[in-house]
Amino acid sequence: MGKPYKSFTFTTKLKVNRRILVAGGAGFLGSHLCERLLKDGNTVICLDNFSTGRMDNLRHLLRYDTFSFIRHDIVEPIDVAVDEIYNLACPASPPHYQADPVHTMMTSVLGALNLLELAAHHKARIFQASTSEVYGDPHVHPQPESYWGNVNSFGPRACYDEGKRSAETLFYSFHQQYGVDIRIVRIFNTYGPRMRADDGRVVSNFIVQALKGEDITVYGDGSQTRSFCYVDDLIEGFYRLMNSPAPIHTPVNIGNPGEFTVKQLAEQVVAMTGSSSRIVYRPLPVDDPHQRKPDITMAERGLGWAPTVALAEGLKATIAYFEHQLAPPAKEFAVVA
């Protein structure tokens, strides 16, 4: 999947055999990141509380003797000797992060604190998976990193949005005060294989509904927009930011600037699956952002990064993944003598 990045001049001397902690490594993005880091010859310790993550996402990695995992909640401190830390631990889907908002906020804030202390102690470089949600319901479009956002601190999304904003502030403060080597990526809506069928985010919901012949649930009138990035592109962006020869200690947007309404996405999924599902309209959730599109100038100039996978191509791979996931297990035939 995806084209090679040969059009870019960016080069990084590949550093191998680092000990890397991936917090949230059993999740959708974390499992793709673990795979990439292992393939590059690193030792990877996946840390996860398995709240939304799954062992199924890691099974194919168990053949690496450089791979191990720890069941742990980052709200609690941990000590493990590492050279690098990626913090992806946090539920990302609105229904999941709103199910236990206090724990979501603590995961972002206390979790970041615990991992930053670990980084300071071991002089490890540390990466934070931040989010386009720090821009809230944006008044500036597309969103550059310099935009401060429009976030409600007192609503159902706030546990996630404000938690992630506080985590960015902690990263900034540890860098300023203790010289910790930080990297922060603001991730825009990303999709692909290994999302859970019950994840609740729009791409997986629509594909699963279409494949099951169920109604496709568009929230609101479907005119709100999102920009959808395929997972392989995102992981390449993570990698380039973490290994950038020039240290980039400020947040960087990584996302696909292609902008679609939710209604357009529903129609495309129906067309691509050949589904007989109807598109139905449900109430728009509180504080649902009306528009979202990354300004990726900083990633393009600083990292030589741009997405390569168009929505139709990424949806094709994701639909194939869910077709396989939803297929009934193969029947075993009894051998009749």
Q: What amino acid positions are annotated as catalytic residues?
A: 160
Task: Please state, in angstroms and as integers, the Cα–Cα distance from residue 71 to each residue in 68, 76, 80, 112, following that order.
Answer: 10, 12, 13, 17
53 binds ligand NAD, rule: CB under 6 A:
yes
Identify residues 281-300 at the interface with ligand UDP (CB under 6 A).
285, 288
73 binds ligand NAD (CB under 6 A): yes
| Contacted entry of ligand UDP, ligand NAD, none for residue 205, CB cut-off 5 to 8 Å set by kind | ligand UDP
CB closer to ligand NAD, 33 vs 277:
33
In the list ligand UDP, ligand NAD, none, the entry touching 262 (Cβ below 5 to 8 angstroms by class) is ligand UDP
Q: Residue 234, interface with ligand UDP (CB under 6 A)?
A: no
Enter the tokens of residue 100: 């236990």
State in angstroms the smallest separation of the CB of 99 from ligand UDP.
13
Residue bearing tokens 């550093």: 15
Q: Which residues of 148-180 are buried (b: 16+ CB within 10 A; e: fewer)?
A: ebebeeeeebbbbbbbbbebbebbeebbeeeeb
Asked if 219 is part of the footprint of ligand UDP (rule: CB under 6 A), the reply reads: yes
For residues 321 and 161, give the distance between their C-alpha atoms in angstroms, rounded to a whole number. 30
321 binds ligand NAD (CB under 6 A): no
Closer residue to ligand UDP, CB minimum distance, 94 or 193: 94
- What torsion, rounded to 10 degrees, do the Cα atoms 248, 252, 258, 263 define? 160
| Residue 17 CB-half CA count within 13 A | 0
Size (the chain), residues: 337
# of chain residues touching ligand UDP (CB under 6 A): 14
Measure Cα distances from 300 to 257, 304, 306 in Å.
12, 5, 6
Q: Are 133 and 189 in contact (CB under 8 A)?
A: no
User: Among ligand NAD, ligand UDP, none, what binds residue 233 when CB lies within 5 to 8 Å by partner kind?
Assistant: none
Phi–psi pair at 206, nearest 5 degrees: -65, -40
Report 79-138 residues binding ligand NAD (CB under 6 A): 88-92, 107, 111, 129, 131
Is residue 189 close enough to count as binding ligand UDP by CB under 6 A?
Answer: yes
Residue 186 lies near ligand UDP (rule: CB under 6 A): no
Binding residues vs ligand NAD (CB under 6 A)? 23-24, 26-30, 48-53, 73-75, 88-92, 107, 111, 129, 131, 187, 189-190
Name the site residues for ligand UDP (rule: CB under 6 A).
Answer: 93-94, 189, 201-202, 205, 217-219, 224, 226, 262, 285, 288
